[in-house]
Amino acid sequence: MNTYLGIELGSTRIKAVSIDENHVPVSSADYTWASSFENGVWTYELAQAFEGLKTALAGIEDRGSVKAMGISAMMHGYLAFDKDWNLLVPFRTWQNTITAQAAAELTALFGFNIPQRWSIAHLYQAVLNGEEHVPQVAHITTLAGYIHYMLTGVNAIGIGEASGMFPIDSDGLCFNEAMLDKFDELIASRSLGWNIRSVLPTVLVAGDEAGKLTESGAALLDGLLAPGIPFAPPEGDAGTGMASTNAVAPRTGNVSAGTSIFSMVVLEKPLSKVYEEIDMVTTPSGKPVAMVHCNNCTSDSNAWVNLLQETAQLFGADPSSGELYTKLYEKSLEGDADCGGILVCNYMAGEGVTHMDAGRPLVVRRPESRFTLANFFRAQLYSTMATLKLGMDILAEEKVSIDSLTGHGGLFKTPVVGQRYMAAACGAPVTCMQTAGEGGPYGMALLAAYAVKRSEGEALEDYLKNRVFGEVSASTLAPDAADMAGFAAYIEQYKKLLKVEETAVAFI
């Protein structure tokens, strides 16, 4: 039996999934890790990334059957190396909101929205800051790109991942040449010793050859995989999420909801103007995508679940985390459609969509609010998607057509609940598949299979539609009118709550 392996270095777990010739998951394993806040920067230890890789791989059965594989990871951020691939500064993750000046200047220069978390914003902010490491920069890449390089010796990334580093020319399937020139002109007077083309990785599209596991790469994995395994181009979690939800064709979209939350909608035509709230990225095959990315999703509600678990333990009960999540999610369905007047801002970190550089989680209610467990937890779940809703409303105003919206990630693990609320928030049917909880590594495994199994000239969207998802079990929920009205009422109050959040950030 041949298998295809996908690995994703996510925000909370490093996950590995293998699939068989019929694209059915046959084995999975993971490793838990977390970012740390050091010297004002959210970061991860790269040494721990390799420990996590090995732990996850050790849990995969029949590793000798792996025919192809690929690496995915949290998108964006900043990994800078010298000419010998020595790390120059700690990894700066997508969670950081420390590049406001650079992002604003580049957005104006390019006439193209550059979010704070993009690699080019981090690099230019380091230039503006006069950071000591900048003249030594020889390579910048993403976490997926770095792991891929260490395992294969190939300094390249998939186009979807590349589109979170620097703007893409979708016609040429490469970095935008005019914008590359503009950036070099911008920094020319600083005599840094490098130009932007020299430090960026090569851009590949789905199906391209991206190298093989080398002897040294296999040694980094303690021999858990044999040298010679071909690799698909490394992709970010957005690209693998699109693949895992069959959302790579125009008029399709998906929502990934875990530590962060983001929607991806494949466009038929460009938006009418630049929006700071909307990122323009691509599918793994290079089609234009409108992305609404929000830094904050389930971290605050996870903290509340832990608190409630601790409370239960005071009374001698010891429910598992999975049982608690299921009970609380289901209990929220008993709440009022507008959460009884309870408002939650779940910002643990800053939020680009609402222009917040930091976060202060808040629960706010009026004296007459109906403060029940059901309403409280419904408000928690509404808060996970409230900021996303603000961005999706822009796409609605742009008359962007969405035939299908697929949900995946931890928010959708409990059947119906997250799916129902998301349908109300977006005003569109939401579909969940059996693989909803492990979208990223599964999507990367599909891209690995596509790289070696596709027919000549077979487009990624056709491969997924015809060979992968034709018989997959899925459930679709249309938005409920009462839920939509309740969410609309909640979001109007949420917009006012953001003023309170701004004050909290300023004074607390």
| Residue (of 419, 434, 74) closest to 246 by Cα position | 434
Alpha-carbon distance of 400 to 423, in angstroms, equals 16
Tell me, what's the pLDDT at 440? 83
Give the Cβ contact number of residue 53 at 10 Å: 23
Q: In the predicted model, is pLDDT for residue 9 greater than 90?
A: yes
Tell me, what's the pLDDT at 435? 54
Alpha-carbon distance of 100 to 394, in angstroms, equals 22
Query: pLDDT: is 237 or 498 the higher one?
Result: 498
Q: In the predicted model, is pLDDT for residue 48 greater than 70?
A: yes
| Residue (of 29, 17, 100) closest to 66 by Cα position | 17
| Residue (of 237, 494, 487, 241) closest to 347 by Cα position | 494
Per-residue three-class SS string for 353-419: CCCECCCCCEEECCCCCCCCHHHHHHHHHHHHHHHHHHHHHHHHHCCCCCCEEEEECHHHCCCCHHH
Q: In the predicted model, is pLDDT for residue 403 greater than 90?
A: no
CB of 446 closer than 8 Å to CB of 468: yes
Alpha-carbon distance of 333 to 453, in angstroms, equals 44
CATH superfamily of 3-245: ATPase, nucleotide binding domain (3.30.420.40)
Alpha-carbon distance of 310 to 307, in angstroms, equals 5
**pLDDT average, residue stretch 49-77:** 96
CB of 72 closer than 8 Å to CB of 444: yes
Query: pLDDT: is 127 or 432 the higher one?
Result: 127
Alpha-carbon distance of 115 to 260, in angstroms, equals 15
Tell me, what's the pLDDT at 434? 67
CB of 329 closer than 8 Å to CB of 418: yes
Taking only the tens place, the pLDDT of each residue in 72-128 is 999 889 999 999 999 999 999 988 889 999 999 999 999 999 999 999 999 999 999
The pair of structure tokens assigned to 269 is 């035509």
The residues that bridge with 281 in the sheet, in sequence order, are 289
Give the pLDDT band (50/70/90) at residue 438: low
**pLDDT average, residue stretch 250-272:** 90
The pair of structure tokens assigned to 166 is 């620097």
**pLDDT average, residue stretch 280-303:** 93
Q: What is the mean pLDDT of the chain?
A: 94
The CA-to-CA distance between both ends of the chain, in Å, stands at 58
Please report, for the chain, the start and end positions of each structural domain, with discontinuous segments joined by +: 3-245
Alpha-carbon distance of 53 to 213, in angstroms, equals 14
The residues that bridge with 351 in the sheet, in sequence order, are 356
Classify each residue of 329-363 as buried b or exposed e, where b means 16 or more C-beta atoms within 10 Å of its C-beta: bebbeebbbbbbbbbbbbbbbbbbbbebeebbbbb
Tell me, what's the pLDDT at 437? 46
Query: pLDDT: is 302 or 408 the higher one?
Result: 302
> Is residue 421 classed exposed, middle or buried when 0-12, 13-18 and 19+ CB atoms within 10 A define those classes?
buried
Alpha-carbon distance of 318 to 206, in angstroms, equals 46
Alpha-carbon distance of 145 to 139, in angstroms, equals 11
Q: In the predicted model, is pLDDT for residue 36 greater than 50?
A: yes
Query: pLDDT: is 330 or 402 the higher one?
Result: 330
How far apart, in Å, are the Cα atoms of 425 and each of 151, 296, 391?
A: 41, 16, 11
CB of 349 closer than 8 Å to CB of 296: yes
Strand order in the sheet with 13-19: 25-32, 13-19, 3-9, 66-73, 235-236
The pair of structure tokens assigned to 97 is 């909101």
Taking only the tens place, the pLDDT of each residue in 313-349 is 999 999 998 999 999 999 999 999 999 999 999 999 8
How far apart, in Å, are the Cα atoms of 489 and each of 319, 386, 424, 447, 493?
A: 34, 12, 12, 41, 7
DSSP state letter for 11: S
Angle at 435 between CA 472 and CA 248, to 5 degrees: 75
Q: In the predicted model, is pLDDT for residue 170 greater than 80?
A: no
Give me the percent of the chain exceeding a pLDDT of 70: 99
